[in-house]
A and B are shown apart, each in its own frame.
Chain A
Amino acid sequence: MLILEKIIDNINYIGAVALFVIGLRIVVTHSNLIKRIMGINIMGTGVFLFFVAIGNVTGGIPPIINNNQINPVYINPIPSVLILTGIVVVVSITVYSLSLVIRIYENYNTIDQTELSKLMSEEDNEH
């Protein structure tokens, strides 16, 4: 039962790590380029969830000064603020890599990594 309690207590961290690992697996094993980009996004979400989870304080309220509260406990706002930047970064990376996929499709007519490598090695042999 102790283990179960521990899992429930740390469910946010475990979820974050699980997302990270799922994303990593997609990036490494899938051959479809768009799925790989999705994998990067899932990995990013995992890290962001982890960051936000660190900032949480049990029973805390949003850090906005409110005179009606007596001795309020605030959650830590800094990780959430940092993550806003992180989200912007991952969005721009996604946009850039999707545009690359469009160019790859225009040139090779495929977005599958295994077919791509086959096409590229054929071209190399021609030269």
Chain B
Amino acid sequence: MNIEQLPIINLLLFLLMALVIPLLKRRPFKLTLILGFIVLGFVFVSSGYLLWYVNNIDIIHYTFGGHEARFGIEFIIDPFSALFTTIIAGLATIIYIYSSGDATEGIEKTEYGRYYVLLFILLMSMFGILYTNDLFNTYVFIEILSITTCAIISIKKKKDTYTAAFRYVMMNELGSLSYLFGVALIYMATGFTNITLIGETMQNAYALYPVNIIIALSFMIIGLGIKAAIFPFHIWLPDAHSAAPSTSSAILSAIVIKVYILVFVKVLFRVFNIDILNEMNISTILLVLAGVGMIMGSVFAIAQKDVKRMLGYSSVAQMGYILLGVGLLSFDGLRAAFFHILSHGLMKTALFLSVGEIIYYKKTRKVNDFDGMGFIMPVAMGVFSIAALGMIGIPLTSGFISKLNLGLAVLDHNQVIFLVILIISSLLNVIYYLPIIILAFLKNEKYRYRMKSIEDTPRTMIAPLILLGVLIIILGLFPNQVMILIEAAVNSIMS
């Protein structure tokens, strides 16, 4: 087999798996779960191998049907796409193992199969978005992604999920159409949809048709901003993420919105090059959006009584951090942003999954009902505490490393005001995460020292949680290994 075909096989495996699940309807459901696990495991290993290959040997270009890049669709596997597909595959495998432990709360038994169909198509489209080197192809994958995420939100047969999904679909469609308009304007000025070719001709096109390029850039920022839940466009996120089943909230919050910000990075650095961005002073706009988002997301999160809504608003604030790194338009900034994408992915998955376990067994989502929870469900609350401390930015966790890097990158650019915002935002995080930990472990004496009160949960649910907790700490202690890969990704995106 040719190594060039490996990424395509990854995509095809996901699609085939989605096709096979309905066929296995009459067989025991375990068969589907095992088969899905094999697929995910294979994809994780193969994307890991691709990551090693592109970092050590060569970047892979693949054109479909042998058409040259300007006519056909081109896939590029470089350190950037290989790194993030590996991260996505890894996180998805962890979430998958957890969801097989019967924790797909609120979904009817007959819908399980459909849930996994949607999950695999979702993964396929995310891989496609990262691999593809074509703006229009990206649009098609984005639409597949948004329709499957909406469906995965509305799969619970509950009233409020329908309205949440409807709002999500409307906002998302506004975003995609704005993005498509941007693509149209770029195509008008350059005549290509291939990102590399556009990047080469962009300087000329900007000199000839500046209006086109400026409008295209603003459409794309708004379109992808809506989808990535960047602050003023975030209104759909808390509803959608709290209405979905816990496992899909984890996927949506930890992976899907990150994919959109990665597209955003690709558009900024590969389609429009840095000179044009600096000339238009995009950096200031992005930094202001990021700063407002970091503060406001946390402020809204404090006011929430529902744990999952709180986590949703916290995601808005965290997207602010990532945007802050991207908005600096520099090597250090991007490095910090990419690291934060990884560490926030781990932490948010851990938070949503541990909260999911608590909701599954205790049927409560109110913050106030968490007293003594640490004695009833020690593993879930323990992992929750590790991840929450990571969110705050306590040393020894990966959250500390990403905040440290962000702070250093901000200082390099003499933007001291954003360092202040970063610290204020961290303090706001303390206000809404710490009370939960205190409630769970230090209050309500009556549960203490009663081992009988510990709920026994299936091992498939406990194992992923422990793995996530350990990963957060390992990443906080030894960030250098991952940092090498991230720096390679940043170099490939900036060259």
Residues of A within 8 A of B (CB): 20, 24, 27, 33, 36, 40, 43-44, 47, 50-51, 54, 79, 82, 85-86, 89, 92-93, 96-97, 100-101, 103-104, 107-108, 116, 120, 123
Contacts and interface: CB of A to CB of B under 8 A. Distances in A.
B150 interface: yes
Q: Which 6 A-B pairs have the closest CB atoms?
A: A89-B143, A107-B159, A103-B162, A54-B188, A100-B166, A104-B162
A82 B193 contact: yes
B181 A47 contact: yes
Interface string B163-191: 10110011001100100110010011000
Contacts of A120: 160, 163
A47 B174 CA distance: 12
Contacts of A82: 136, 193
A14 B187 CA distance: 17
Contacts of A92: 143, 147
Nearest to B136: A82
B181 A20 contact: yes
B170 A36 contact: yes
A40 B177 contact: yes
Interface SS of chain A: helix
Given A20-B181, A50-B181, A79 B187 contact: yes
A123 B170 CA distance: 23
Contacts, number: 69
A93 B147 contact: yes
A96 B169 contact: yes
Contacts of A24: 174
B151 interface: yes
6 contacts: A47-B181, A51-B184, A54-B184, A54-B187, A120-B160, A120-B163
A35 to B, nearest CB: 11
Nearest to B165: A100
Contacts of B169: 93, 96-97, 100
Nearest to B71: A78
Contacts of B170: 27, 36, 40, 97
B177 A47 contact: yes
B367 interface: no
A82 B154 CA distance: 30
Contacts of B140: 85, 89
Contacts of B162: 100, 103-104, 107
A65 to B, nearest CB: 17
A64 to B, nearest CB: 17
Nearest to A51: B184
Contacts of B174: 24, 27, 40, 43
A47 B180 CA distance: 7
Nearest to A97: B169
A125 B177 CA distance: 37
B187 A40 contact: no
Contacts of A116: 163
A21 B174 CA distance: 11
Contacts of A97: 166, 169-170, 173
